[in-house]
Amino acid sequence: MINKNRLVSQFKKMVEFDSETYHERELADYLTEELKELGFEVWEDDAGIRLKECVAGYGSQTPAGNLYGFLKGTADAPPILLSAHMDTVRPGIGKRAVEDENGVITSEGDTVLGADDLSGIAAILEAVRVAKEQDLSCPDIEVLFPVAEENYGKGSQLLDYSRIRSKQAYVFDLSGEIGLAATAAPTLISFEIRVKGRNAHAGFCPELGINAIEIGAHAIAQVKQGWVDEETTVNIGRISGGKQTNIVSDECIALGEIRSLKDHRAMEELEKLRDIFEQTAARFQGSVELKYEKQIEAYEIGEEEEVVKRFRKVCKELHLKAETRYTLGGSDNNHFVRNGIRGIVVACGMNEVHTPKEFTTVKQLEKSAALALGLITADSKTIQQKV
């Protein structure tokens, strides 16, 4: 039932839009017209205007916001939300899709492809087209194409969730075989630790200084990094400090992140960091300032919940191997769940993401579109095909 040629053609067309994070305007305009053509009521919010990083890159052009569409259904069933984000990571300017004889689609090698997350958008659009063409019975369908997902879901974090009617969501934004879904995701805390010392001439009177870099080094050496338990990671990914080689450094900055499937564990590791740095700084008569931001919050969706059971039912009907697991990556779904929408993140044909080696395949795109179609028509029992 999926129109393979149309699906692949639309995916390739969307790849050519330059839609790096905070620069989704052209793609948003294109998708607005596509949704209207499919009969959706379309609304775009002001998230782009509210995101300072977005405004700075646009000049006089209005930056894109989160794009929402509502399509009235015919089935007497609860509404369903399908979502995929509009932005891509860098390098994403001048993307072109190249398909080989085996149906593998890549970029030309100097940019990402953007299958993360254009494969998800393509699958959703094709599924709705088929449902309308075949006059299939569907519940009310909501689609949401957020901006700025690649920056901790900053776009969906600003969404007015009172507009969303659905209590179940399927977020097409995961690597892996079609049939894989993430039902748990972490809290992610980003932090900045600023160690303060005292400068002095390093050659004439170093004893008058307090070396902030030395304090930072002693503290970092005490921090357990990597896996600190089976579901929590800690990483200090960047350090900087000092002004010149002949000056005792009066400042050292350490940047990093903490991820955990348990929110309280992430906060515990943050407090451990604080204690280590403060105690170390006190020994050297320095001081510490810690700033942090909880970018996303952990969630877990149970196997007995309807959103998972529906997913497994559709996979079975499509002869896809259904598998659920946790991920330590975040997505818009973290914000959905926090706002009362029980969602899962499903694989949609993205591989080696965030690199110029990124690829998808025609077969994966077909399977993903069939899955989306099955999810919006599951109540009508019309989808019975092998993909």
φ and ψ at residue 268, rounded to 5 degrees: -65, -40
* pLDDT bucket at 384, cuts 50 / 70 / 90: very low
| Separation CA 118–CA 108 (nearest Å) | 16
Number of Cβ atoms within 10 Å of the Cβ of 179: 23
- The total domain count for the chain is 2
Phi/psi-derived region of residue 354, left when phi > 0, alpha when psi is between -120 and 50, beta in every other case: left
**Co-location of 176 and 197 in the same domain:** no
**Co-location of 155 and 211 in the same domain:** no
Does the pLDDT at position 383 exceed 70?
no
Averaged pLDDT for residues 283-301:
98
**Co-location of 232 and 108 in the same domain:** no
Q: Answer whether residue 74 is part of any domain.
A: yes
**Co-location of 289 and 302 in the same domain:** no
| Separation CA 38–CA 140 (nearest Å) | 13
| 149 part of the active site | yes
Does the pLDDT at position 239 exceed 90?
yes
Query: Which entry of 87, 116, 117, 317 is annotated as an active-site residue?
Result: 87
Q: What is the pLDDT of residues 93-142, one digit of tens each?
A: 999 999 999 999 999 999 999 999 999 999 999 999 999 999 999 999 99
| 352 part of the active site | no
Q: What is the pLDDT of residues 293-343, one digit of tens each?
A: 999 999 999 999 999 999 999 999 999 999 999 999 999 999 999 999 999
369: Cα within 13 Å, side-chain hemisphere: 28
Instruction: Determine the structural domain holding residue 218 and report its residue range.
Output: 190-296
* pTM reported for the whole predicted model: 0.94
**Co-location of 23 and 135 in the same domain:** yes
Q: What is the pLDDT of residues 29-78, one digit of tens each?
A: 999 999 999 999 999 999 999 987 666 655 667 899 999 999 999 999 99
Q: Which tokens hold the place of 346?
A: 């499903």
Closest CA to 7 of 343, 387, 355: 387
CATH number at residue 209: 3.30.70.360
Does the pLDDT at position 232 exceed 80?
yes
Query: Which entry of 44, 45, 117, 149 is annotated as an active-site residue?
Result: 149
